[in-house]
């Protein structure tokens, strides 16, 4: 069998699943089974693609020619493989979690929710598989559109204005800056194909390269590099499973994935390393890392704190790619994965606290570790992972990014990473301390743990954080293919 056919299959399964989910709104149990079945099928497809990519194969699938020389096509390479794995592994986990959350909170319009959720996965996989900028652009925009109903799930005044910010920034940046970036790439090089080593050969001036990079970095608003970050905290009005899978994993990772992919396959790491016109990127991402951490430190709302932490961590990925050394590029790719599993655990915990205790503020969490031991254990592990404590997942990616920074002699970047580690600790550890060692405020609200499906999902994601080391060999084989030698 031609393995390439698995890619369109993996993208279409969630679409079909979404249609089935939308029609099955009278039978919630069957509907949820459909969600699980499609998630399992997608996971199977993506896993079956893995051996081919590990062996150096690049499965390719062309749909049609959108415009002469601009096909809609999929081609799987290591970075896309990694991203597809992240999305397809975490989808079933967060489906399990969503079922607990949506039923536990009696949320309305659950069919629409699960259908849009599945569509978002389809678009994410489309982004992961894209063979060229135009295909990536198509799925990128679709992802914005199908997640809009999820962000505005409650259809009230608050979600309406959040939706405006969400769509305004994401579509505003992509329809102007990103479109111009893609057209300019096509205009300058005559191709939009992702090519190892980049496509900007020869004639293009350094200033033009710097400008093009700016168009891409700010045009890909999903990467939330400041000042394009405001949509992410706004999107937190969505139900927590949306924040967990989409705004910690799929959507934001689609953003940084696109940035890394563009740097590696359009600009070419070797082509632009040492150019003065791209030197601003480490600074602006370094600023984002520190500034977002400071805002996180000052946020009392737990989800908002996590959102700003996400903004900060996303810029880790962009910064790592912008350092333009082989090790840092590996670190960037790994951080897409490690931040995903860690942050989804944290959001799962935040949603569990909301469902069981109806608490949303950090200052209300005193003593909650005793009432919800499992949830807070998961939260602790996720937080420690993001701080970068071994053997949790976050340590590994941070290690590679720092090695890359040292290798390139980027001492400022190294300083930013160390400062940010301290800030991470400063905004996570007080929560953990309060949860376990402070006494609960009176009058005590009597509640227990979150519903079982949510605990199950948290257990799964925590396990991934803790047992990350077992997969590191495989992941390194994959990510090493990104850099020459």
Partner 1 sequence: MSAEHLPVLLVVVPLLAAPLIVLFRSGRAGWLLAVLASMVSLACAIGLFVQVRGGTVISYAIGNWAPPWGIEYRVDVLNAFVLILVSGVATIVSVYARTSVISEVPSDRHYLFYAMFLLCLSGLLGMTVTDDVFNIFVFLEISSLSGYVLIALGRERRALHAAFQYLILGTIGATFYIIGVGFLYLVTGTLNIVDMAGRIQAVADHRPVLAALAFMTVGLSLKAALFPLHAWLPSAYSTAPGAVAAFMAGTATKVSLYVFIRLLFGVFGARLVLQDLPLLEALSLLSIAAMLVASLVAVMEKDLKRLLAYSSVAQIGYITLGVSLANQDGLTAAVVHLFNHGIAKAALFMLVGGAALRLGGCRLEVLAGMGQRMPLSAFCIVIAGLSLIGVPGTAGFITKWHLVLAAAEAGQWLTIVAIGASSLLAAAYVWRFVEAAYFTAPRHHGVQEVSVGMLAPAVIMTVACVYFGLDTSFTLGAAREAAELLLGAVK
The window from 48-56, 182-190, 377-385, 424-432 that contacts partner 1 (CB under 8 A) reads 182-190
CA angle 421, 84, 343 (to 5 degrees): 30
Measured from the CB atom, is 58 or 154 closer to partner 1?
154
State how far the Cα of 371 lies from the Cα of 138, in Å rounded to an integer: 46
Per rule CB under 8 A, is residue 384 in the interface with partner 1? Answer: no
Structural contact between residues 288 and 225, judged by C-beta atoms closer than 8 angstroms:
yes
Measured from the CB atom, is 181 or 289 closer to partner 1?
181
| Inter-CA distances, 291 with 38, 222, 229, 287, 288, Å | 40, 18, 11, 6, 5
Cβ contacts of residue 177 below 8 Å, gap of 6+?
Answer: 215, 216, 218, 219
Measured from the CB atom, is 167 or 290 closer to partner 1?
167
Considering only the C-alpha atoms of the chain, give the largest distance between any 2 of them, rounded to a whole number of Å: 71
Per rule CB under 8 A, is residue 186 in the interface with partner 1? Answer: yes
Q: Give the number of other CB atoms < 10 A from CB of residue 89.
A: 21
Per rule CB under 8 A, is residue 137 in the interface with partner 1? Answer: yes
Per rule CB under 8 A, is residue 366 in the interface with partner 1? Answer: no
Cβ contacts of residue 145 below 8 Å, gap of 6+?
Answer: none
The window from 77-85, 179-187, 275-283, 316-324 that contacts partner 1 (CB under 8 A) reads 179-187
Identify the residue among 15, 52, 138, 291 touching partner 1 (CB under 8 A). Answer: 138
Length reported for the chain: 485
Per rule CB under 8 A, is residue 180 in the interface with partner 1? Answer: yes
Least gap, CB of 60 to partner 1 (angstroms)? 19
Per rule CB under 8 A, is residue 308 in the interface with partner 1? Answer: no
Per rule CB under 8 A, is residue 15 in the interface with partner 1? Answer: no
Please name every residue paired with 61 in a beta bridge, in sequence order, or none if there are none. Answer: 74
Measured from the CB atom, is 15 or 52 closer to partner 1?
15
Identify the residue among 54, 171, 403, 406 touching partner 1 (CB under 8 A). Answer: 171
Per rule CB under 8 A, is residue 23 in the interface with partner 1? Answer: no
Per rule CB under 8 A, is residue 56 in the interface with partner 1? Answer: no
Per rule CB under 8 A, is residue 2 in the interface with partner 1? Answer: no
Structural contact between residues 9 and 45, judged by C-beta atoms closer than 8 angstroms:
yes
Least gap, CB of 168 to partner 1 (angstroms)? 8
Least gap, CB of 135 to partner 1 (angstroms)? 9
> If we measure between CA atoms, which residue out of 257, 255, 262 comes closest to residue 182?
262
3-class DSSP string for 135-196: HHHHHHHHHHHHHHHHHCCCCCHHHHHHHHHHHHHHHHHHHHHHHHHHHHHHHHHCCCECCC
Measured from the CB atom, is 172 or 471 closer to partner 1?
172
Mark residue 179 as left, alpha or beta (left: phi above 0; alpha: psi -120 to 50; beta: remaining): alpha
Structural contact between residues 166 and 158, judged by C-beta atoms closer than 8 angstroms:
no
Structural contact between residues 115 and 150, judged by C-beta atoms closer than 8 angstroms:
no
Structure tokens at 245: 């899978």
Structure tokens at 205: 């001036």
Radius of gyration of the chain (CA): 21
Measured from the CB atom, is 143 or 376 closer to partner 1?
143
Per rule CB under 8 A, is residue 190 in the interface with partner 1? Answer: no
Measured from the CB atom, is 155 or 298 closer to partner 1?
155
Least gap, CB of 152 to partner 1 (angstroms)? 7
Least gap, CB of 448 to partner 1 (angstroms)? 36
Per rule CB under 8 A, is residue 12 in the interface with partner 1? Answer: no
Per rule CB under 8 A, is residue 134 in the interface with partner 1? Answer: yes
The window from 175-183, 280-288, 407-415, 440-448 that contacts partner 1 (CB under 8 A) reads 175-183
Per rule CB under 8 A, is residue 8 in the interface with partner 1? Answer: no
Per rule CB under 8 A, is residue 214 in the interface with partner 1? Answer: no
**Which residues contact partner 1 (rule: CB under 8 A)?**
64-68, 72, 134, 137-138, 141-142, 145, 152, 155, 160, 164, 167-168, 171-172, 175-177, 179-180, 183-184, 186-187
């Amino acid at each position: 069998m031609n393995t390439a056919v698995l890619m369109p299959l993996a993208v279409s399964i969630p679409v079909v699943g979404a249609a089935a989910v939308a029609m099955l709104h009278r039978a919630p149990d069957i509907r949820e089974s459909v969600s699980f079945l499609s998630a399992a099928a997608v996971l199977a497809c993506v896993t079956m693609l893995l051996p081919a990519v590990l062996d150096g194969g690049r499965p390719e699938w062309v749909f049609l020619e959108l415009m002469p020389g601009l096909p809609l096509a999929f081609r799987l390479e290591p970075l896309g493989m990694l991203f597809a794995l992240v999305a397809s592994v975490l989808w079933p986990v967060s489906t399990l979690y969503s079922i607990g959350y949506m039923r536990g909170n009696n949320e309305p319009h659950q069919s629409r929710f699960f259908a849009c959720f599945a569509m978002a996965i389809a678009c994410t996989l489309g982004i992961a598989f894209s063979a060229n900028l135009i295909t990536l652009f198509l799925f990128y925009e679709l992802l914005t559109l199908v997640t809009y109903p999820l962000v505005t799930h409650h259809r009230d005044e608050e979600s309406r204005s959040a939706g405006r910010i969400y769509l305004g920034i994401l579509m505003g940046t992509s329809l102007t800056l990103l479109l111009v970036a893609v057209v300019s790439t096509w205009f300058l090089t005559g191709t939009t194909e992702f090519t190892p080593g980049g496509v900007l050969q020869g004639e293009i001036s350094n200033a033009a390269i710097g400008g093009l990079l700016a168009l891409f970095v700010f045009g890909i608003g999903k990467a939330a590099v400041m000042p394009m970050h405001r949509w992410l905290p706004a999107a937190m009005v969505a139900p927590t499973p949306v924040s967990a899978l989409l705004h910690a994993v799929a959507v934001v990772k689609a953003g940084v994935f696109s940035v890394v992919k563009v740097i590696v396959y359009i600009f070419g790491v070797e082509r632009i390393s040492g150019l003065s016109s791209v030197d601003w990127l480490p600074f602006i991402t370094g600023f984002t890392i520190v500034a977002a951490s400071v805002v996180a430190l000052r946020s009392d709302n737990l989800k908002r704190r996590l959102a700003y932490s996400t903004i900060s961590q996303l810029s880790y990925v962009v910064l790592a790619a912008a350092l333009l050394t082989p090790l840092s590029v590996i670190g960037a790719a790994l951080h897409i994965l490690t931040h995903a599993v860690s942050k989804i655990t944290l959001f799962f915990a935040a949603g569990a606290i909301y469902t069981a205790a109806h608490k949303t503020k950090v200052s209300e969490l005193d003593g909650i570790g005793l009432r919800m031991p499992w949830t807070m254990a998961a939260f602790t592990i996720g937080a420690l992972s993001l701080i970068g404590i071994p053997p949790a997942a976050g340590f590994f990616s941070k290690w590679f990014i720092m090695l890359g920074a040292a290798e390139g002699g980027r001492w400022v970047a190294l300083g930013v990473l160390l400062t940010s580690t301290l800030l991470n600790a400063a905004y996570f550890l007080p929560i953990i301390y309060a949860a376990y060692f402070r006494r609960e405020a009176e009058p005590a609200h009597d509640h227990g743990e979150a519903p079982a499906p949510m605990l199950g999902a948290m257990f799964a994601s925590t396990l991934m954080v803790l047992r990350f080391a077992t997969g590191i060999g495989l992941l390194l084989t994959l990510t090493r293919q990104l850099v020459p030698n």
